[in-house]
Amino acid sequence: MQTMLSGIKPTGRLTLGNYIGAIRQFVEYQDEYEMYIFIANLHAITVAQDPKELKQNTKDLIALYLASGLDPEKVTLFLQSDVHQHAELGWILTCHSYMGELQRMTQYKDKTAKGETGITAGLFTYPCLMAADILMYDADYVPVGVDQKQHVELTRDIAERFNNRYGETFRIPQPLTPKIGAKIYSLQNPTKKMSKSEENPKGTIDLLDDPGVARKKIMSAVTDSLSTIQYDPDTQPGVSNLLMIHSSLSGESLESLVSRFQGKGYGDLKKETGGIVFDFLSDLQSRYRDIIASGKIDEILREGNEKASRIAERKLRKVKKKLGFQILK
Ligand code: AMP
Ligand code: TRP
């Protein structure tokens, strides 16, 4: 069985973009692959976090993973910080990455270009830690949204470099982006990604938003004045985004939606999409509440941590041997 791995940072509340672009894929693939899914809390602290909020977001994230359908019997679910080998391998790979490569990473480049101050060294080197997360478990595939593809490509380069230098050590991973919904856009600014950090709350649907509020956000989504329903992200980004959200959650193809909405108005599309989002969030949140109430999260994490640690330790030992760290037989 091939291996698949992915992680999400527990920063801010999860959005519909996270669900459609990432979590949904994890659930779809869990039967076909050996899956590792983790909470990337070491990555979260690349920007300042309030410990109380971080704790709450972490719990919510795990509960939402489970509520979305991840089955702990099939998936190894763990906290990154519980498996200390990640930080160790992260350092080793930092020493096998170049400044130039890291300077090209969009996240760092954008923040620098905007003139942001207080950029931590961790934010700069974090793609090396991400490479460690992936290479530790010999992942064949890494399902991510398009914005993370670049990091998986860097991971491939680092892995190839390491293998060439020390002999076969790491499997070369491939990014896997969803065909539909790889990027969900802000409802208020449909050329920008729907993001946890967006300032205008009307642009973003949180997975824990009141379903009625979420429906209102869809109803007030920005569209255009062309008055025709087509899937064309360049000329009609707002309408295309709504079609994408509808299609991702309802399973109806974009073609079928477009033909069904011929001659209808934007209000019709919004009403139907709003209803689908309402039902989706209501079901998800009811499962989320059951999971929190069940008190099972601790046990699930403990088991995930044990399994991940075992595999990580084996890999790290191999790496240390290759590097010449091991002097005793
Ligand atoms: P982040 O919220 O940046 O930690 O991202 C967690 C995962 O969700 C990554 O795989 C992202 O690519 C994905 N993701 C985040 N926002 C979106 C979005 N608006 N559309 C699609 N995927 C997204
Ligand atoms: N960097 C990813 C993000 O910001 C989260 C992440 C950390 C991740 N390690 C990973 C994703 C390994 C996939 C594989 O969303």
Give mean pLDDT, residues 6-30. 90
Show which residues are catalytic.
111, 193, 196
Using the predicted structure, report yes or no on whether residue 94 has a pLDDT greater than 80. Answer: yes
CB 173 less than 6 A from any atom of ligand 2: no
Q: What pLDDT digit, counting tens, does each position of 137-186 carry? A: 999 999 987 889 999 999 999 999 999 999 999 999 999 987 766 789 99
State the distance from the centre of ligand 1 to the C-alpha of 166, rounded, in angstroms.
34
Gap from CA of 22 to ligand 1 centroid (Å) = 6
What is residue 141's DSSP assignment? E
pLDDT at 199: 79
Q: Hey, which residues does 95 pair with through a beta bridge?
A: none
pLDDT tens figures, 244-262: 999 999 999 999 999 999 9
| pLDDT value at residue 180 | 65
pLDDT at 287: 97
Q: Tell me if 187 CB under 6 Å of ligand 2.
A: no
**How many CB atoms neighbour CB 13 within 10 A?**
18
Is the model's pLDDT at 88 over the cut of 80?
A: yes
Does residue 130 line the site of ligand 2, with CB under 6 A? yes
Residue with tokens 């002097």: 327
Averaged pLDDT, 6-22: 90
Residues 37-59 have pLDDT tens digits of 999 999 999 999 999 999 999 99
185-219 pLDDT, tens digit per residue, is 999 999 999 987 777 889 999 999 999 999 999 99
Strands (E) located in the chain: 3-8, 34-39, 75-79, 141-143, 174-176
For 60, 231, 238, 290, 312, the CA distances from 133, given in Å and listed in that order, are 22, 36, 35, 30, 9
pTM score:
0.88
What is the distance in A from the centroid of ligand 2 to the CA of 152?
9
- Choose among 64, 72, 75: nearest CA to 288: 64
